């Protein structure tokens, strides 16, 4: 039987974390947003408020729903602030050792019946679950970016995830108004297993001089009707995240077709990570984005 989820904790107040807090609060859940930095929490709450206001101006939600959602979100710099949550979703960076450390600290303060979810986009759910004291209550809940706009959530069971955890999480995601795709616990799951090799191939196409940034993005937008070109999309996702996912695919599936493009590695080494650092395959420091190659 599904367990009733009322209070949701979100660890990490970045793009994914504030998006998850936004949709959960709008769906009527009490939300505790956790981050080690007070400044990041403040900025996340401002982002959520701005995004809710945008939904009001587009008549997606009412002003009353905007105000009600804001009242549902509280923030906490301490992990103990999550002690009373029924479900906690971790949205830290895509690095396994960091996620394991957070999960270890989290389980020490949680009730034994609380469910723990990870928003990882590629790391083994079974392996992350093994770092907790409750592998049967651990599940992958992979939201797409930007969370308020994207309709899909991938649900991934680890080898130990029990039926109650799966049913409770599925019910929670459905209440958010999202569609569910259930994936087996294989590297990068479904969306990124298909999407990231395409992006990596676009970077190889650039690296080998088949086309420049503009030509590659125009080709996929106009020739395949993609809403965003693959290099523009890579900048949006973050080139460091793209590289992490390709590394997980390459190591996990041991197939050379998943080898990260050397040009992607070079951009990450340069600190050109896309939109968040103002430079990636495009330079965002001027009035409009300019290709960097």
Paired tokens of 168: 């409770």
231: number of Cβ within 10 Å: 27
Paired tokens of 28: 């009527």
Is 142 annotated in the active site?
Answer: yes
User: Which of these is catalytic: 18, 75, 119, 121?
Assistant: 121
Work out the angle between the directed axes of helices 213-223 and 230-237 (0-180°, nearest 10): 100
- CB-based burial of residue 175 (10 Å sphere; 0-12 exposed, 13-18 middle, 19+ buried)? middle
Is 192 annotated in the active site?
Answer: yes
Work out the angle between the directed axes of helices 63-72 and 38-57 (0-180°, nearest 10): 160
User: Which of these is catalytic: 13, 66, 119, 142?
Assistant: 142
User: Which of these is catalytic: 192, 200, 232, 244?
Assistant: 192
Torsion sign over Cα 134, 137, 140, 143:
negative
Q: How far is CA 212 from the centre of its chain?
A: 29
Q: How far is CA 51 from the centre of its chain?
A: 17
Which parts of the chain fold into alpha helices (H)?
15-26, 38-57, 63-72, 96-109, 125-130, 163-175, 191-207, 213-223, 230-237, 239-253, 262-270
Is 121 annotated in the active site?
Answer: yes
Q: Quote the CA–CA distance of 141 and 185 in Å, as a whole number.
A: 12
- Of 123, 195, 112, 109, nearest to 152 by C-alpha is 195
User: Which of these is catalytic: 90, 94, 154, 232?
Assistant: 154
Q: Which residues are known to be catalytic?
A: 121, 142, 154, 192
């Amino acid at each position: 039987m599904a367990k009733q989820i009322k209070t949701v904790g979100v660890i990490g107040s970045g793009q994914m974390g504030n998006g998850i807090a936004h949709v959960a609060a709008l769906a009527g859940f009490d939300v505790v947003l956790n981050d080690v930095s007070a400044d990041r929490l403040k900025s996340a709450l401002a982002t959520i408020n701005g995004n809710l206001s945008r939904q009001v101006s587009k008549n997606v939600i009412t002003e009353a729903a905007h105000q009600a959602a804001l009242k549902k979100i509280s923030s906490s710099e301490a992990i103990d602030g999550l002690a009373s949550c029924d479900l906690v979703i971790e949205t830290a960076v895509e690095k396994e050792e960091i996620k394991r450390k957070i999960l270890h600290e989290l389980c020490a303060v949680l009730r034994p019946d609380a469910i723990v979810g990870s928003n990882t986009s590629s790391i083994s759910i079974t392996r992350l679950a093994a770092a907790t004291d409750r592998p049967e209550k651990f599940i992958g809940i992979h939201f797409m970016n930007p969370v308020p706009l994207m309709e899909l959530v991938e649900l991934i069971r680890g080898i130990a995830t029990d039926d109650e955890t799966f049913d409770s999480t599925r019910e929670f995601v459905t209440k958010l108004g999202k569609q569910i795709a259930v994936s087996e616990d294989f590297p990068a799951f479904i969306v990124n297993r298909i999407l990231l090799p395409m992006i990596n191939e676009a970077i190889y196409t650039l690296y080998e001089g088949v086309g420049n940034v503009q030509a590659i993005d125009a080709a996929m937008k106009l020739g395949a009707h993609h809403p965003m070109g693959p290099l523009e999309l890579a900048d949006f996702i973050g080139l460091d995240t793209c590289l992490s996912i390709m590394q997980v695919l390459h190591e996990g599936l041991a197939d050379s077709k998943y080898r990260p493009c050397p040009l992607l590695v070079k951009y990450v080494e340069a600190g050109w990570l896309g939109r968040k650092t103002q430079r990636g395959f495009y330079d965002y420091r001027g009035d409009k984005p300019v290709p960097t190659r």
